[in-house]
A and B are shown apart, each in its own frame.
Chain A
């Protein structure tokens, strides 16, 4: 499988604190790769670095060989790296369907002025976006809620809407920020199915997550961070038996760990 995303030597310093320290790994096309690690391991910082919401101190991120680190977030999104948010970040006063339609913005062929005038291209875009939005809503089980105002959605559906918004941008790689946080077992399993459905549409998925059972169930490969450094990488089975990972999660005396 070809490599979709390459992270090499990525480092981020905040003053004296090294949040992410020389992390390298790559994500293959159409795989689900999870980044896990204890609290404060640098997962969120790494996530923001990859999605271009932060600029790295050193190192770089490449998408299909093209350097994307250091670009503005909306440019990175245009190149195909799109993130979802940890909190339930949505356009809360729009309908669910409008949320997904607006997220098609990147695909529009007409210019802003074209939309103002209502040209043929603009109308064709609108029609195509509506259809695609309905498809995505169906895929994620949101069809019945399409005309609900987004802020009225229950928690689990909000997360699904976040993924729907990400999916609507037609990304090469979708970055999910803790998609299972705060969910019960049943909700998590439904969300796992959802993420698989996203991957089966041909989208590469990179997710940052706490929930170990979900990560073990869903991931093709796992990268483990601790104190900003990568301490392990491998399949779920390899990670489960890795002594360094067990030490990081369960806590071992310093001498034993090193």
Chain B
């Protein structure tokens, strides 16, 4: 990022103002309350996509994020339903569970590169779906339904977050929750990428052999990056389960995994905010094309191919190109 410090602070303030003030105000004045749900989904999907982006950043094509989103959703749902946990506690636990599971999965598969790693992760989503169908605890194809809305969160008797069930507008509450987590997620990502860790990740992406020759523990770094990625996937899946108050084996499928990856491609693999923009454009783009009916998928796929040919470095590379020309 070549923006100077003041411009960066201004951009952050403007962004926060838009997502926390302007958007809710606009929605309540226009009465389009369904947009809350749409934007909440975009925020959550962008968190999962951010995780995928991080695996891209260490040079791995990850088409398996759906598996962790599904896993996170089930962990949260099961803890709430069967063990009476508070949703707020299950949220980090779901993320950590996914991170731990991803470490076990990563140890053998992260040795693979390129298309081989991509294929294994693709299969992972399918494995997760089949597991959800087969395991007794996940209740098979019927899934887990009627999950209560998140309760109140209070620490030392002070209520930080009210009970969602008592709120008149739980959509707004979910929107604020999702957007807050998205902001935190991307702040963490930004810091990661702009610290030495980002440079180390880049060194893995560009040449693992050289990285290891200068003393970088490449296996360790790969696993860490993948665990962080899966953590994001799990958290986003857990909130999805809470919003829809249900989770099924088909809640996240291979299509979702592919979409998480496309979000990253579309926004730009070289830009930390790429997955956020990519998710927004892709989600609304798909909705807009709904009017074209049976041609929706055809036009959508065609546009994606054209975009990848014309803008191989994503939408955000446009900004850089104009800056260089100007």
Contact = CB atoms under 8 A, between A and B. Distances in A.
Interface of A: 51, 53, 72-74, 77-78, 82-85, 89-94, 98, 101-103, 105-106, 108, 112, 115-116, 118, 122, 125-126, 165-166, 168-169
B255 interface: no
Given A77-B215, A83-B213, A105 B207 contact: no
Interface residues of B, number: 21
Contacts of B200: 102, 105, 112
Interface stretch (B148-156, B190-198, B290-298, B304-312): B190-198
Contacts of B207: 89-92
A198 to B, nearest CB: 16
Contact of A91 (B197, B206, B215): B206
Contacts of A115: 195-197
A130 B323 CA distance: 27
A53 to B, nearest CB: 8
Interface string B189-219: 0011001110110110011011011111110
Contacts of A74: 212-213, 215-218
Contacts of A168: 214
Contacts of B199: 94, 98, 101-102
Contact of B214 (A53, A92, A126, A169): A169
Given A74-B218, A89-B210, A112-B224, 15 more contacts: A53-B209, A72-B212, A73-B213, A82-B213, A82-B215, A90-B207, A91-B202, A91-B210, A94-B202, A102-B214, A105-B196, A105-B214, A106-B215, A165-B210, A169-B215
Contact of B206 (A92, A118, A122, A125): A92
Contacts of A106: 214-215
Contacts of A72: 212
B203 A102 contact: yes
Most buried by A among B192, B195, B224: B195
17 contacts: A53-B209, A53-B213, A72-B212, A73-B213, A74-B215, A74-B216, A82-B215, A85-B209, A89-B209, A90-B207, A91-B203, A93-B206, A106-B214, A116-B191, A165-B214, A168-B214, A169-B215
A85 B212 CA distance: 12
B193 to A, nearest CB: 11
Contacts, number: 84
A143 to B, nearest CB: 21
Given A89-B207, A108-B196, A116-B195, A77 B213 contact: yes
Nearest to A168: B214
Interface of B: 191-192, 195-197, 199-200, 202-203, 206-207, 209-210, 212-218, 224
Nearest to A106: B215
B206 A82 contact: no
A126 B191 CA distance: 15
A102 B207 CA distance: 12
Contact of B215 (A53, A78, A85, A92): A78
Contacts of A108: 196
Nearest to B224: A112
A217 B21 CA distance: 72
Contact of A93 (B192, B195, B202): B202
B260 to A, nearest CB: 24
Contacts of B202: 91, 93-94, 102
A51 B196 contact: no
B215 to A, nearest CB: 4
B186 to A, nearest CB: 15
Contact of A122 (B196, B203, B224): B196
A90 B210 contact: yes
